[in-house]
A and B are shown apart, each in its own frame.
Chain A
Amino acid sequence: MKKNANAIAKLKLLISRIVVYGILIFLTFLCLFFFYLMFINSSRSNAQLQAGFTMIPGGNAMKNFLNAWNDGSINIPTGMKNSFIVAICSALLTSYFSALTAYGTYVYNFRFKNAVHLFILAIMMIPSQVSTVGFIQLAYKYHLTNKLWLLIIPSIAAPAVYFYMRQYLEATLPLEMVEAARIDGSNEFKIFNQIVLPIMKPAVAVQMIFSFVGSWNNYFMPALLLNDAQKKTVPVMIATLRSADYSKFDMGKVYMLMVMAILPVMVIYTILSKSIIKGVTSGSVKG
């Protein structure tokens, strides 16, 4: 009787594991399939791509790469450079200033402190498209288009990043540490830079990655603000290739450019993945 019950329990466990692993495999497939598709397609010619979908790589990867690299309508190294400048500056500034703001509202007590906190959070509810119209008008009015810093500066105000940083501080920073630093003779700015920021390293790393990826992939604002070929970022260049006229249209070239575009992101993700996991789980377990 007991043996029977044990066998049933084992079978139940096996079934539940099959179901769980099945779901996980399906989700993993959903995540990775499109990457795989992109890599496959980047190795196929335009004609092969027109012929339909296949799982086997083609032999045109090098040709697609050279076609994209030598395309007269785009300049990949310049695009990469522009994207990199915008992405890295945005990531640095967003993380630093959001951490600074979060530190300010967490550590200091001042009148309307909570109102300030709520106001910043309320900004999260406003879709970026709403403010974009006014921003574009402003940029055109003051002849600020085709300037990369115009894409960088607004990214400093990132309420979602602020919220994340604030939550992180609440979970990890005892105020006694700030007080200890004050007694040690440190001024407020040094306390933030030398004591608090190093403690926030995992959170800053996570937000830098997210911000970098967000800026790197951003198409909406650069498309509206950058007309000069020398100022275009990679996503705008991909769009330029896609919108080429029928005679020049080469889907293989577009896929290859997309592969080139995601490579830096993949490299950064691989290098910093440890920090991402550490940052996401921090605060959940008492250290």
Chain B
Amino acid sequence: MAEVLLKNIKKIYTNTESKAKKRGLFRKNEDQQEEKKINLQITDEGVVAVQEFTLDIKDNEFIVLVGPSGCGKSTTLRMVAGLEEITSGELYIDGQLVNDVEPKDRDIAMVFQSYALYPHMTVYDNMAYSLKIKKVPKDEIDRKVREAAEILDITQYLDRKPKALSGGQRPRVASGRAIVRNPKVLLMDEPLSNLDAKLRNQMRSEIIKLRQRINTTFIYVTHDQIEAMTLGDRIVVMKDGYIQQIGTPQEVFDHPANLFVSGFIGTPQMNYFDARLVKKDGRYFVETDGISVELAEEKQARLKANKVEEQDVVLGVRPEHLSIADKGIEGKVDVSELMGSSCHLHMTVMGKDVIIIVPTEGKTTNYAGKDLHLSFDGNVAHVFSKETEKNLEY
């Protein structure tokens, strides 16, 4: 385990590199290329993939980089791995500047999206390869491989080739190959994205267990916010190469720094309404569609501290925080989806699509086509600036 410090890291693909990337000479697929072209900033120097990335990752911490395709999260991870050159900034692993250190000398291990298992080697040989290169004695290699296999429950597959493994076994072998070296930092690049939903859930808990068993610093990249929320000690939300917010999953969920984060974290995503933030007797209220809701004490204090003035805002309320009431914002239910313990109502409210989650509480009610009134509490309302899209509490 080790502390990892990224100081003002920047990555620009120079024009030749970005051309090569477009031709697929790097490992991204065509769809991702297309998305990258849309999201990334193209300057005279080239394509800017990561900007002003500063993050202090503590010993033994599990950090998740999350964001949409092309946000720079994989590039950041690859820079930590040493697979991409750092254009500017400083990268420290365990207090050592490693900008120009070869990947093999950084004492890191990585689990790739495709797992990158060596197809001609058995599971045992795949796991033992890095140790053989380091010329570790054979009996020690055997002990370490079997120990890692035991942790990951793959002992019975040690003699198999990767081709003969199931979808759930491959990421385990890839993890085994990584942990057998006892690396300072374990990097994981969307290791579960190739699995079906059921297997992904199962593997997610396997990763949590793995984390509890081994002492190392994890940096995990995903575009799946559920993975980010469940795995990370802290999550780093990224967009267009910039960090949008760093915080614990709860912090990011409860206090999103801006509109992007509020929409990206949470499923279904947050609902937005045009509203006005007003001040009455030194107290903040949000007014929308004829209703006025007083914000909670904590929010009052923050807005006051920021000296926020009355203004038009974007009001954000999560679907689970909107409830059906006798009075409130008017809307019509278009579609009602029964999810089991709850019901997702897709509504049109003030000309916008809104989703609310209603607990079923054992009875089935068909809401489709009904006109409803919605209300919310002052502690779950998020107010974002219309101009900067930032959360006014920050």
Contact = CB atoms under 8 A, between A and B. Distances in A.
A176 B29 CA distance: 12
B205 interface: no
Contacts of A177: 116, 118
Contacts of A185: 104, 130, 133-134
Given A180-B116, A183-B108, A190 B103 contact: no
Contacts of A199: 119-120
B113 A184 contact: no
B172 to A, nearest CB: 15
A59 interface: no
Contact of A174 (B17, B114, B129): B114
Interface stretch (B19-27, B259-267, B273-281, B284-292): B19-27
Interface residues of B, number: 28
A137 to B, nearest CB: 41
Nearest to B23: A114
Contact of B20 (A109, A180, A182, A187): A109
Contacts of B130: 183-185
Nearest to B133: A185
Q: Which of A180, A181, A186, A201 has the most CB of B within 10 A?
A: A180
Interface string B142-162: 000000000000000000000
A174 B115 CA distance: 10
Contacts of B116: 174, 176-177, 179-180
A198 interface: yes
Given A176-B113, A176-B116, A179-B83, A184 B133 contact: yes
Interface string A162-190: 00000000000011110111111111001
Contacts of A180: 110, 112, 116, 118, 177
Contact of A183 (B25, B109, B113, B163): B109
A272 interface: no
Interface residues of A, number: 21
B81 interface: yes
B129 to A, nearest CB: 5
A183 B104 contact: yes
B104 A182 contact: yes
A260 interface: no
Interface SS majority for chain A: helix
A195 interface: yes
Interface in B87-111: 102-104, 108-110
Contacts of A176: 27, 112-114, 116
Given A183-B104, A184-B130, A109 B112 contact: no
Contacts of B103: 179, 182-183
A117 to B, nearest CB: 11
Contact of B133 (A109, A186, A287): A186
Nearest to A198: B120
Contacts of B129: 181, 184, 186
A184 to B, nearest CB: 4
Contacts of B113: 176
A78 B356 CA distance: 88
Nearest to B189: A176
Contacts of B17: 109
Contacts of B114: 174, 176
A109 B83 contact: no
A183 B83 CA distance: 9
Residue of B83, B102, B108 contacting most chain A CB atoms (<10 Å)? B83
Interface centre among A109, A175, A186, A190 (most CB of B within 10 A): A175
A184 B110 CA distance: 9
B95 to A, nearest CB: 21
B194 to A, nearest CB: 12
Contacts of B20: 109
Nearest to B105: A185
A106 to B, nearest CB: 8
B120 A174 contact: no
A175 B113 CA distance: 12
Interface of B: 16-17, 20, 25-27, 81-83, 102-104, 108-110, 112-114, 116, 118-120, 129-130, 133-134, 163, 177
Interface of A: 109, 111, 174-177, 179-187, 190, 195, 198-199, 201, 287
8 contacts: A109-B25, A111-B16, A174-B27, A176-B27, A182-B83, A183-B83, A183-B110, A199-B119
